[in-house]
């Protein structure tokens, strides 16, 4: 089933070049099927890149999706054209009365700061609480996962001695969970972060299930409220060249950055990346949409509680 996206969203043309089928609003409204309403709170600086990465993965479901983009009013993006933000994003305050089947909250480049020091912390904390009564299932990614765990459950974050940067092997604790249907025993995920949450803190909290981790990169996925909240510390949505771009950016700035682990062929940047996470990423997003959004959402979206 195609995706129903806002007209003229830049991701549409980019993804058509990858042979991904999308549908415009006028055609979608002629179909007698209620699309799943998915809202993305995009906190990443390069918003068009993040939009494209997420839509690439969401497009592989047979379900029809209607994608909306939310922003916080208390922060102005400096890396995305104002025209783009006005055309495709709405402030939380004008969306607060709406309900959604699924929500994705991205990472943000503020992990060096304490949560309360983040300029939009009050507003995003309100959004986290709002999601519990207005969204069937919310997917928290990277910094958002740490922030959500802290806001809802008091889980602290810790600074790492060096950046967790590269592609790391993970395992699952319970392969029978729907989120892992079709997964191999081991799978790979990109990570790019300077902080972490720790398993001993997760295990102390009733209602939190640590369902996937890595010997190298630690906690990966935490499930709460039966899947109404899923916290993911890695970046399954990353495109093949994202880590390459980050590595060369930091090198150019003279920042202390090591070669991303298990990423380049023969650890040689000139040979490019060896993609090992794409299949898992597609399956993960499909399972989330099918088993935690579609199967759980009420027929009437206004009945979400």
- pLDDT, one tens digit per residue, over 51-69 is 999 999 998 888 899 999 9
What is the pLDDT, as a whole number, of residue 94?
95
Catalytic residue among 134, 170, 235, 280: 235
* The predicted structure's pLDDT at residue 75: 74
Q: Say what the pLDDT of residue 1 is.
A: 44
What was the pLDDT predicted at 3? 53
Is 151 catalytic? The answer is no
pLDDT of residue 33: 62
Beta bridge partners, 22, equal 3
Residue numbers of the chain with a pLDDT score lower than 70: 1-5, 7-8, 11-33
* Active-site hit among 111, 196, 213, 237: 237
According to the model, what pLDDT value does residue 174 have? 92
User: What was the pLDDT predicted at 275?
Assistant: 97
Let me know if 13 is a catalytic residue: no
Look at domain 3-303 and name its CATH class: alpha beta
Amino acid 8: pLDDT: 65
Known catalytic residue: 142?
yes
Q: Of the listed 142, 152, 191, 229, which one is catalytic?
A: 142
């Amino acid at each position: 089933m195609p995706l129903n996206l806002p007209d003229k969203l830049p991701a549409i043309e980019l993804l058509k070049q990858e042979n991904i089928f999308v549908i415009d609003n006028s055609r979608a409204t002629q179909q007698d099927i209620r699309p799943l309403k998915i809202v993305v709170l995009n906190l990443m600086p390069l918003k068009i890149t993040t939009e494209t990465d997420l839509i690439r993965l969401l497009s592989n479901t047979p379900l029809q999706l209607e994608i909306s983009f939310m922003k916080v009013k208390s922060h102005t993006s400096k890396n995305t054209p104002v025209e783009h933000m006005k055309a495709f994003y709405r402030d939380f305050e004008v969306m607060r009365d709406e309900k959604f089947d699924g929500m994705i909250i991205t990472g943000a480049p503020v992990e060096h700061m304490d949560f309360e020091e983040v300029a939009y912390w009050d507003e995003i904390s309100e959004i986290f609480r709002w999601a519990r009564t207005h969204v069937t299932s919310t997917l928290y990614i990277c910094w958002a996962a740490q922030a959500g765990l802290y806001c809802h459950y008091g889980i602290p974050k810790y600074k790492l001695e060096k950046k967790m940067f590269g592609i790391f092997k993970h395992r699952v604790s319970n392969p029978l969970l729907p989120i892992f249907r079709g997964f191999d025993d081991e799978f790979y995920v990109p990570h790019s972060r300077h902080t972490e949450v720790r398993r001993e803190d997760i295990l102390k909290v009733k209602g939190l299930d640590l369902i996937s981790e890595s010997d190298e990169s630690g906690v990966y996925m935490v499930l709460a409220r039966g899947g109404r909240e899923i916290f993911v510390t890695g970046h399954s949505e990353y495109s093949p060249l994202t880590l390459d771009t980050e590595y060369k950016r930091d090198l150019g700035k003279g920042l202390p950055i090591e070669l991303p682990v298990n990423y380049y062929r023969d650890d040689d940047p000139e040979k490019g990346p060896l993609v090992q996470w794409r299949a898992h990423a597609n399956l993960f997003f499909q399972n989330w949409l099918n088993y935690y959004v579609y199967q759980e959402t009420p027929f009437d979206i206004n009945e979400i509680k």
